[in-house]
Amino acid sequence: MKKISMRDIAKELNVSTTTVSFVVNGKHKAMGISDETAQRVNELIGEKGYNPNTTARTLRTGKSNTIALIVEDISNSFFASIAKGIETEAHKNNYKIFYGSTDNNNEIADALFTSMKNSAVDGFIITPTKGMAEQIKKLKKEHIPFILIDRLIPDIETDYVILDNYQGAYDLTQHLIDNGYRKIGFVTLSDGMSQMENRKKGFFSALQDAQIDTLEKTILEVSYQDTDEFIIQALQKYLQNNKNLDALFFATNYLGISGLEAIQKNNLTIPNDIAVVSFDDHVLFRLTVPSITVAAQPIEEIATKSIELLLKNINKGKKQLKPVGIIVKPEIIIRNSSAKKVI
Instruction: Answer yes or no whether residue 4 interacts with its own copies by CB under 8 A.
Output: no
* Binding test (CB under 8 A) with its own copies, winner from 211, 214, 227, 287: 287
Strand arrangement, sheet containing 184-189: 218-222, 184-189, 247-250, 275-279, 293-296, 331-333
Q: Which residues contact 53 (CB under 8 A, 6 or more apart)?
A: 3, 5
Instruction: Answer yes or no whether residue 7 interacts with DNA by CB under 7 A.
Output: yes
Instruction: Answer yes or no whether residue 202 interacts with its own copies by CB under 8 A.
Output: no
From the list 24-32, 122-130, 211-219, 335-343, the region that binds DNA by CB under 7 A is 24-32
Q: Determine how many CB atoms are found less than 10 A away from the CB of residue 64.
A: 19
48: enclosing H helix or E strand: helix 35-48
First to last CA, the chain: 78
* Binding test (CB under 7 A) with DNA, winner from 5, 65, 236, 291: 5
Question: Which is closer to DNA, CB of 19 or CB of 129?
Answer: 19
Instruction: Answer yes or no whether residue 119 interacts with DNA by CB under 7 A.
Output: no
189: enclosing H helix or E strand: strand 184-189
Instruction: Answer yes or no whether residue 298 interacts with its own copies by CB under 8 A.
Output: no
Which residue type does 110 have? D
* Binding test (CB under 7 A) with DNA, winner from 17, 65, 105, 205: 17
Q: Of 35-64, which residues contact DNA (CB under 7 A)? A: 36-37, 50, 52-53, 56-57, 59-61
Least distance from C-beta 142 to its own copies, angstroms? 7
Q: Of 81-100, which residues contact its own copies (CB under 8 A)? A: 81, 83-84, 87, 91, 96-100
* Binding test (CB under 8 A) with its own copies, winner from 17, 117, 216, 341: 117
Least distance from C-beta 57 to DNA, angstroms? 4
Backbone angles phi, psi at 162, to 5 degrees: -135, 170
289 dihedral zone (left: phi>0; alpha: psi -120 to 50; beta): beta
From the list 7-15, 205-213, 271-279, 291-299, the region that binds DNA by CB under 7 A is 7-15
Q: Which residues contact 19 (CB under 8 A, 6 or more apart)?
A: 10, 28, 33, 37, 41
Which residue type does 343 have? I
For residue 332, what are the CA distances in angstroms to 92, 195, 272, 303, 309?
30, 17, 21, 19, 26
Distance from C-alpha of 337 to C-alpha of 181, rounded to nearest angstrom? 12
Q: Of 187-226, which residues contact DNA (CB under 7 A)? A: none
Bridge-based pairing state of the strands 293-296 and 331-333: antiparallel
Least distance from C-beta 113 to DNA, angstroms? 17
For residue 187, what are the CA distances in angstroms to 12, 192, 239?
69, 13, 11
Within 13 A of 150's CA, how many CA atoms are on the CB side? 21
CB 341 within 8 A of CB 180: yes
From the list 13-21, 68-76, 155-163, 168-176, the region that binds DNA by CB under 7 A is 13-21
Instruction: Answer yes or no whether residue 285 interacts with DNA by CB under 7 A.
Output: no
Least distance from C-beta 331 to its own copies, angstroms? 18
Instruction: Answer yes or no whether residue 224 interacts with its own copies by CB under 8 A.
Output: no
Question: Which is closer to DNA, CB of 16 or CB of 269?
Answer: 16
The listed partner (its own copies, DNA, none) that binds 37, CB under 5 to 8 Å by sort, is DNA
Instruction: Answer yes or no whether residue 104 interacts with its own copies by CB under 8 A.
Output: no
DSSP letters along 80-112, please? HHHHHHHHHHHHHTT-EEEEEE-TT-HHHHHHH
Q: Which residues bind its own copies (CB under 8 A)?
A: 1, 51-56, 58-59, 64, 66, 73-77, 80-81, 83-84, 87, 91, 96-101, 108, 111-112, 114-120, 142-143, 257, 260-261, 264, 282-284, 287-289
Q: Which residues bind DNA (CB under 7 A)?
A: 2-3, 5-7, 14-19, 21-22, 24-25, 31-34, 36-37, 50, 52-53, 56-57, 59-61
